[in-house]
Structure 1
Amino acid sequence: MSCNNHEIIVVVVPFPAQGHLNQLLHLCKLIASHNIQVHYVTTMTHTHQAKLRVHDPFSFINNNNNNIIHFHELSTPFFKSPPPNPDSSIKFPSHLQPSFESSSHLRKPMSRILRALSSKARRVVVIHDSLMGYVVQDFVHLSNAEAYAFHSVSAFTLLLFIWENMGRPFDIDASLLKDVPSLEDCFSPEFEKYIKLQYDYMKFNSGKIYNTCRVIEGPFLDLLSKEQISNNKKQWALGPFNPVLVQHGTRSCQYKQHKCLVWLDEHEPNSVVFVSFGTTTTFSDDQIKEIAIGLEKSEVKFVWVLRDADKGNVFAKDHQSRKIELPKGFEERVKGKGIVLRDWAPQLEILAHSSVGGFMSHCGWNSCMESISMGVPIAAWPMHSDQPRNTVLVTKILKVGLVVKEWTRRHEVVTRGVVQAAVEKLMVSKEGEEMRHRAMDLSAALKKSVAESGIKNMELDSFISHITRQI
């Protein structure tokens, strides 16, 4: 379905952290493909970050969507951008809190943008990250504006969060609850306070959007639609937002093939484990040493992204940045068997490569969706936020992964033996092979859902029909 009505303007407001920026930029592309004008509004720093790191950046710079996706680069007051603390016992990225707090200053410029767009549109549709409710609150003063909260986490994790906060208003299958970890140490106290402030504005929204798909989380989406939770407001599962078909070697000639993809070309199908813990994880020197030795002892080929967590401003120059040390002689010993990347890596393209047969991950929801999309099973090592509960979904419910580190042991260093055993189980055992088959089946179902008459496309068409309605 396509809409030629430019009287509808969509304003997308992401939360200033990589996983959130990325998801909503891909959603912009999906909406723009229906010939609807989209405005992506965040700070100057985070606009640049989102564009730089998006899968296939060329498509956002030089294609038919170029005139229909408008980027707003807003200024905020200076905020501190301290380095992450590798020795912190709680792995939540508290060093990003100044960046999060600074985003509250976007309320006034956001209000001006909404008023200006409202004056020339039949309807302004605001899609905001659930953590940006405060910033968009002034849409309520515009008679032709409506807002939808975007949730960047799994339906399973969100359901449990809301259900527990509401005092468990209805029964949920006890078998789903027996492995669910507590939220202890998932967030900092400052961030919990920040979440509460944002959720106070949710009552003004007209519905919710999820980055998930019914073929993965149908039962949990059904529970989220129950009246006690939804208040009869509409909801749409529009994920996955990442492309589900990634053609290896077809990237625009403007962008040089990443060295790790060239390296992966030399190896057999499903023979390489990809090791990456996202943009908000920082390990201690001791933990890095244990991972390195565990990978080496497993004798499984690997691509390891070894970098500190993002700072609030990823472009800030820091002459005292940490140099992460590996065991002496490690890179020489694993030459030909492993490659260590110390900067940004094209995760989706790596997971899509035929040589990659497993993913050791922090289980952030972006990474889970990308891995499932590409049919790659997960060795789950949760760090904070929604990750411990995503781990339950991936390993116990979908059964497309195994647990490296239980949340109850979150303060312990994972030993080389545990790393080695997890990699070997994922990559060279019968159990790992069965997980890989289940992951590939889920991937096939996801790809089918994205096809023209698939359920994900039907959900997107339903959302587009709703926001372009005549009444």
Structure 2
Amino acid sequence: CEILSWLNSKQPNSVLYVCFGSGAYFTDEQLLEIASAMESSGHKFIWVVHNKGRTENETEEDRQKWMPREFEERMRREDREMIRRGWAPQTLILDHAAIGAFMTHCGWNSLMEGICAGVPMITWPLHSEQFFNEKLITQVHGIGVEVGADDWVLNIYVEYATKNLVKRDRIESAVRKLMDGGDEAMDIRRRVGELTEKAKAAIGEGGSSQRKLTALIEDLQKLKSMRTKGGIDDTKEGEFRREK
């Protein structure tokens, strides 16, 4: 895999992973702010772009609508970036030692993958429960920092999204909080490491997640057995009851 080969050449915790899920949409103006922030931060990064029309075959004119002129060329010369248009092996990327932070839309699957990989997060919720998820990450568990996105943005609200950009200075500031090092970043890395150990214990042999999944399977097997034998005894407390 090209991405993993590139990561293998990088120092631990030196690369920022940027991915907002397969359903996210950003205006060209917002993508330009992200690109500018990545460049000015001085850090290496992998950026997964899912926006419609953003392909490897797009013209220079199209690229200039959402990234600074010759942005990719400069970043490649400095060996600082890898932009992936479309799908990327997220769990493999997050598990790599070179990844130092994860900029995410706070979708639940992405958060769980980030926690299990022990990666601090830069939170950028877009809609739905993602804003609640952000507070869980940043305020409850203290394992991430916010870019300050506070507006619900969907692709049908392009004009609204354009007027409510998250500016490059706010993005860069969040990146630097985690990637520049310092006491705050070290504390966040320590806390996410502790949470990772708890998550691994939960899914391991005898862990709470394994026990509950095993109990669910046993209940389903019991339900199937009862139905096969001709019905469910709905008189005994704690057993399954026939739907009315």
TM-score bucket (shorter structure): 0.7 to 0.9
Q: Which of 323, 328, 338 does residue 69 from structure 2 map onto?
A: 328
Root-mean-square deviation (CA), in Å?
Answer: 2.1
User: Deviations for 1:75-125, whole angstroms, at most 9, x for unmatched residues?
Assistant: xxxxxxxxxxxxxxxxxxxxxxxxxxxxxxxxxxxxxxxxxxxxxxxxxxx
Contact 2:127 2:152 in 1 (8 A): no
CA–CA distance in structure 2, aligned partners of residues 309 and 289 of structure 1: 15
- Tell me, yes or no, if structure 1 residue 338 matches structure 2 residue 90: no
User: Deviations for 1:363-383, whole angstroms, at most 9, x for unmatched residues?
Assistant: 111111110111111100111
Q: Which of 163, 166, 170 does residue 418 from structure 1 map onto?
A: 170
- Matched residue count: 204
CA–CA distance in structure 1, aligned partners of residues 34 and 12 of structure 2: 23
State the match for 1:450 in structure 2: 203
- Tell me, yes or no, if structure 1 residue 276 matches structure 2 residue 16: no
Contact 1:359 1:371 in 2 (8 A): yes
Amino acid in the other structure paired with 1:422? A
Give 3-state SS (helix, strand or coil) of 2:145's partner: strand
State the match for 2:180 in structure 1: 428
Aligned pairs for 1:163-182 within 5 A: none
- Tell me, yes or no, if structure 1 residue 403 matches structure 2 residue 155: no
Give 3-state SS (helix, strand or coil) of 1:402's partner: strand
User: Deviations for 1:202-249, whole angstroms, at most 9, x for unmatched residues?
Assistant: xxxxxxxxxxxxxxxxxxxxxxxxxxxxxxxxxxxxxxxxxxxxxxxx
CA–CA distance in structure 1, aligned partners of residues 152 and 129 of structure 2: 17
Alpha-carbon offset, residue 405 of structure 1: 2.2
Q: Which of 109, 112, 118 does residue 369 from structure 1 map onto?
A: 112
Contact 1:275 1:302 in 2 (8 A): yes
User: Deviations for 1:161-196, whole angstroms, at most 9, x for unmatched residues?
Assistant: xxxxxxxxxxxxxxxxxxxxxxxxxxxxxxxxxxxx
State the match for 2:193 in structure 1: 440
CA–CA distance in structure 1, aligned partners of residues 152 and 127 of structure 2: 13
Contact 1:273 1:356 in 2 (8 A): yes
CA–CA distance in structure 2, aligned partners of residues 374 and 361 of structure 1: 14
CA–CA distance in structure 1, aligned partners of residues 36 and 5 of structure 2: 25
CA–CA distance in structure 1, aligned partners of residues 112 and 90 of structure 2: 12
Alpha-carbon offset, residue 408 of structure 1: 5.1
Aligned pairs for 1:191-202 within 5 A: none
- Larger relative contact order (Cα-Cα within 8 Å, sequence gap ≥ 6): 2
CA–CA distance in structure 1, aligned partners of residues 89 and 175 of structure 2: 21
CA–CA distance in structure 2, aligned partners of residues 296 and 421 of structure 1: 12
Contact 2:126 2:151 in 1 (8 A): no
Alpha-carbon offset, residue 392 of structure 1: 0.8
Give 3-state SS (helix, strand or coil) of 1:407's partner: coil
Give 3-state SS (helix, strand or coil) of 1:334's partner: helix
Contact 1:279 1:309 in 2 (8 A): no
Contact 2:122 2:147 in 1 (8 A): yes
Amino acid in the other structure paired with 1:405? G
Amino acid in the other structure paired with 2:75? V
CA–CA distance in structure 1, aligned partners of residues 201 and 96 of structure 2: 20
- Structure 1 gap segments, 5+ residues each: 1-256, 311-322
Contact 1:400 1:439 in 2 (8 A): yes
Aligned pairs for 1:295-306 within 5 A: 295-306=38-49
Alpha-carbon offset, residue 284 of structure 1: 1.1
CA–CA distance in structure 2, aligned partners of residues 460 and 409 of structure 1: 34
Q: Which of 394, 405, 410 does residue 137 from structure 2 map onto?
A: 394
Give 3-state SS (helix, strand or coil) of 1:468's partner: helix
User: Deviations for 1:339-380, whole angstroms, at most 9, x for unmatched residues?
Assistant: 111121011111010100100111111111110111111100
Percent of pairs identical after alignment?
Answer: 38
Give 3-state SS (helix, strand or coil) of 2:100's partner: strand
Alpha-carbon offset, residue 433 of structure 1: 2.1
Q: Which of 462, 468, 471 does residue 215 from structure 2 map onto?
A: 462
Alpha-carbon offset, residue 459 of structure 1: 0.8
CA–CA distance in structure 2, aligned partners of residues 392 and 309 of structure 1: 29
**Residues 404 and 414 (structure 1 numbering): CA distance in 2 closer, same or farther, change over 3 Å?**
same
Contact 1:357 1:436 in 2 (8 A): no
User: Deviations for 1:15-50, whole angstroms, at most 9, x for unmatched residues?
Assistant: xxxxxxxxxxxxxxxxxxxxxxxxxxxxxxxxxxxx
Contact 1:281 1:309 in 2 (8 A): no
Give 3-state SS (helix, strand or coil) of 2:47's partner: strand
CA–CA distance in structure 2, aligned partners of residues 296 and 327 of structure 1: 9
Alpha-carbon offset, residue 307 of structure 1: 2.1
Contact 1:361 1:378 in 2 (8 A): yes
Aligned pairs for 1:75-154 within 5 A: none
Give 3-state SS (helix, strand or coil) of 1:274's partner: strand
Amino acid in the other structure paired with 2:174? A
Alpha-carbon offset, residue 409 of structure 1: 8.6
Aligned pairs for 1:12-51 within 5 A: none
